[in-house]
Amino acid sequence: MVIKIKKATKKTKSINWMNIRLCIVIVFAILCFIIIVGHLAIIQFVRGKELKEKAYSQQIENKILSPSRGTIYDAKGEILAQSVKVDTISINPGKIKNAQNKKVSDDIVAKGLSEIFNVTYEKLLEDLKSNKSVIVIERKVEKDKVDKLKKWMTEQKITAGINIDDDAKRYYPYDTLASNLIGFCGTDNIGQNGLEQRWNSVLTGTIGKIVTVTDVHKQAISDENEQYIATENGSNIYLTIDASIQVIAEKYLDQAMIENPTATAGNVIIMNPQTGDILAMASNPYYNLNQPSNYTNLGYTEEDWNAIEKTERSNILQDVWKNRAVSGTYEPGSTFKLLVASIGLEEGIVQTDTENDFLCTGPYLVAEENGEPRYISCWRKIPHGYNSLRGALEGSCNPAFMQLGQRIGPQILYKYFEAFGLFEPVGNDIARAYKGTFTELDSIGPVELATTSFGQRFEISPLQLITAVSAICNDGILVKPKIVKQIENTDTKSIEVIETEQIRQVISKSTSGKVKDMMQSVVTDGTGKHAAIEGYSIGGKSGTSEPRQGHEEDGYVASFIGISPIENTQVVCLVTLYGIKDPEHHQGGQQAGPVVSQILTEILPILGVTSDSTEQPQENEDRQVAVINVKDMTIAEANSKLFSLGFNVIYNTAEDPNVAIVADQVPKSGIALPENSTICLYTASETDRIKVQVPNIKGMTAEQATNILKSKNLNVSIDGTKGIVVTQEPTFETEVEEGTVINIVVKEELKDGQ
C-alpha cells in the first residue's frame, strides 16, 4: 500500500498556527483565572479579616464625645471651680487656602494670628515654613479671641487650614481662695493637685462616642448599625467648706503673716467636732488657681525666675502648691498637752484640781546619760512651783507634763495615740496625707518620753492634731474629717450624701468635759488670754515648738487651738505659724492666740452661736455717735451737721463750701464712732484721695494707739478696755484713705504666752 504524503499547503500552515495561538490564549486565560481565583482565595480566606478591618476603619468614623467636668461648690452652693467652654486653635501649614482654593501666604497668616494670639510673628513664620503638619496656636481660647479670628478669616476669605476645635477650660471664680485646698487641672482638664486631683475620678466622668458609616467623601451613610455611646458627665461635688468662713480665715492668716515677717508659712483649719465637717482650710503662701505656674504671682520677675535652675523652679512651685494642713508635719508643742492630760484623766492617774500634784523648779532631771544628769528646762524662766493639772495646763508647764508622762508610761500613751488616729494618715481625700512620726515604742527612753509628753521631738500634721482635739470636744468620740458634703450626678440629678463617720470612742464623756473645762481656764486665766472673746465661752491651748539644736534657722512654730462654746462645742479652730525667728515674740499665745480670737469673733455669729454678753459701757468710755449720711448736702451744711454731733470735718475742695455738693464721705454713714472722730468730705471733682499708711500700733495702750491714729486723720474702733493692742485691722503698712476706721482689740498684756 502506498501512502501518499501531501505537501502542507500555505492554508494548512495558517490553520495550525491559529490553533497554537488559540491554545496559548486558552492556557493564558486559564492561568489568569487560576491567579485571580487564588488571589481571591487569599483575600477571602487569608487576608479576609485584615482587609475587613481596614475597610471598616476607612468607612467607619468614631467621633469622641468629651464629658463635662463636674463643678466644685462650697457648702452653700457658691461655685469654687467650674469648666467653661473654650476652643483650641491649630493650623495645618501648607493647607491654609482661600475661597479660590489658593494658598494664603505665610506672611499674611503669621501677621494675622500673631496680632490675635499670644504668639510672636517671627516664631510663627518659622513654624509655617517648617515641615510640621499641625501647629497648636493657643489652647483654652475664650470667645472674644475666637470671634476676632473668625472675623479675620472672613476678611482674608480663608476657608481651610485653620482649625477651631471645642475645648473646655477650668475656671476658678475666686482666683486664690482655698487654692492649696482646691488645686487645679492641667491642659487636659485632669486634676493635678488638691481636691481636683483627689476627686478626679468623680469630677471627670466617662468619654462617649458616635460610630457612623461614611462614604469616600466622609459623608454619613444611613446605617442601622450606627452606634451611640453616651457620655457620662462628671459629677458635681459640694464641699463642707463655707466660702464666707474661708475668706475670714484667709484674711486673718494673711494679716498674721504680715505682722510676723520672719514667718515662712501658716495655716488655719476650722472644723465642726461633731460632724467632722471642715469649714475652712487656709494656707499661706497661696497662689492663683487660674495661673498656678505664673511666677509673677509668686513675686518673681522674669529675669529672676529664668535665673533659677529648672529643678529648683519646680521645687518652688511644689512648695507653694502644698497643703501644709494635710501634707505637712510639725512638732505641735504644748497644744499636744491636751491629749496627754486627757489620757491621764481617763486612766485615773491624775485629777484636774489636786493641789501640789506637780512641782516645777525650772530644770527637771529626766535621766542620767553616761553618769551625767540630763535636765530639760521649763520654757518659762520663772518656775511655776507647785501646781494642779489645771494650773499646769494654764501655765503650759513642761516639767509638770514630763512628770505626768512618767506616771502614764509609754505603752499607755502610745495606745491612746493610736486611738486618736496619730499613727495613720488623715485626710487622704484632701491631699497626700502623712502619718505621725514617733520614736518606736521599743526605743523610747526617759528623754523621748519627757519630750513627747510636752509635744516635741515627734511630728504630726495639723489635721491630725485638730481631729484628735475635736474628739476630746465631741464627748470623746473620734470622727473622720470630712471635706465633701455631697455628690450630685449631673445626668440623673441624684444626690449622694456623705454621712458623718464615727471611728471610735477614745475617752469618756466625763473626761471630755473635764478637759474642756480646763481649756476654758487656759483662756480666762492662762496663756490663752488673747483668744478670749467677750460674750462667748472660749477654750483653748497655746503651743510653741522650738527648732532642734543646730537647726535654729528653722525658727519657732507658734500655734493655738481654740474651741467654742465650751458646752456642746460647735467649732474648733487651729492656727499655726511656721518659721518665726523673733527671739522675744514667738510664743503661740502671743502670736496665734489673737488670730484665733479674730476668726472666732466673726464666724461664731455665722454659725449661729449666740453671744451672752451683758457688758455695760464704762462710765469713762468715750460716747459713741452714729455717723449720718451727708451726701448731696453742700459742704457747709454737712460740716455744720457733723460738727454739731461732735465730729471733726476735713475737706479740701477749692469750690465755695456753700455751693459745692458732697459726693462721698469717709467713713460711710451707719457706723458709730467716738466723739472727735474725723469725717472726710469729697466733691465729685475730687478724684485724688489723700491716703496714708496704717502705723503699727500692736503692743501700745488704747490711748497711745488712738493718739497716733488721730495724728494721721484715722479713726479708731476699740474692742476692750484694759491692756494693750493685740490685733489691728487693717494691718500696719496698709494704704488707706484718711478717715478710715482702724479696728483694734485691747487685752490684758500676756507675760506668759506659750
Beta bridge partners of 545: 557
Work out the pLDDT band at 619, boundaries 50, 70, 90. Answer: very low
Work out the pLDDT band at 350, boundaries 50, 70, 90. Answer: very high
- Residue 719's pLDDT is what? 86
Residues 663-684, buried b or exposed e (16+ Cβ, 10 A)?
eebbbeeeeebbeebbbbbbbe
pLDDT of 497 > 60? The answer is yes
* Average pLDDT, integer, range 609-637: 74
Q: Comparing 492-501, 509-518, 570-579, 719-728, which segment has the lowest mean pLDDT?
A: 719-728
Q: Which is nearest to 350 in space by CA: 335, 360, 340, 359?
A: 340
Judged by phi (left if over 0) then psi (alpha if -120 to 50, else beta), residue 201 lies in alpha
pTM attached to this predicted model: 0.79
- Residue 67's pLDDT is what? 77
- Residue 208's pLDDT is what? 61
Q: How far apart are CA 298 and CA 464, in angstroms?
A: 29
* Average pLDDT, integer, range 402-427: 97
How many other C-beta atoms can be found within 10 angstroms of the C-beta atom of residue 637? 15
For 340-352, the DSSP string reads HHHHHHHTTS--T
Q: Are residues 358 and 490 in contact, defined by beta-carbon separation less than 8 angstroms? A: no
Q: What are the grid coordinates assigned to 325, written together?
A: 494642713
Angstrom CA distances, 36 to 44, 52, 213, 454, stand at 12, 19, 30, 93
DSSP H helical ranges for 389-540: 389-395, 398-408, 410-419, 446-453, 462-473, 509-525
- Residue 233's pLDDT is what? 86
Q: How far apart are CA 655 and CA 38, in angstroms?
A: 107
- Residue 581's pLDDT is what? 92
- Residue 557's pLDDT is what? 96
Average pLDDT, the chain: 87
pLDDT of 50 > 80? The answer is no
Q: Percent helix, strand and coil across the chain, each rounded to 5? A: 35, 25, 40
pLDDT of 20 > 90? The answer is no
* Average pLDDT, integer, range 15-24: 71
Q: How far apart are CA 297 and CA 288, in angstroms?
A: 7
Instruction: Sort strands 227-229 and 208-214 into parallel, antiparallel or unpaired.
Output: antiparallel
pLDDT one-digit tens code per residue, 191-220: 999 999 999 999 997 766 555 555 544 454
% residues pLDDT > 70 (the chain): 89
- Residue 13's pLDDT is what? 57
Q: Comparing 87-96, 203-212, 370-379, which segment has the lowest mean pLDDT?
A: 203-212
Q: How far apart are CA 323 and CA 432, in angstroms?
A: 9
pLDDT of 25 > 80? The answer is no
Work out the pLDDT band at 118, boundaries 50, 70, 90. Answer: confident
Work out the pLDDT band at 64, boundaries 50, 70, 90. Answer: low
Q: Comparing 88-92, 494-498, 515-519, which segment has the lowest mean pLDDT?
A: 88-92
Q: Comparing 21-35, 180-194, 372-386, 578-592, which segment has the lowest mean pLDDT?
A: 21-35
Q: How far apart are CA 184 and CA 178, in angstroms?
A: 11
- Residue 216's pLDDT is what? 47
Q: What are the grid coordinates assigned to 573, written together?
A: 479652730
pLDDT one-digit tens code per residue, 526-561: 999 999 998 999 999 999 999 988 888 899 999 999
pLDDT one-digit tens code per residue, 35-47: 777 777 676 666 6
- Residue 57's pLDDT is what? 52
pLDDT of 61 > 70? The answer is no
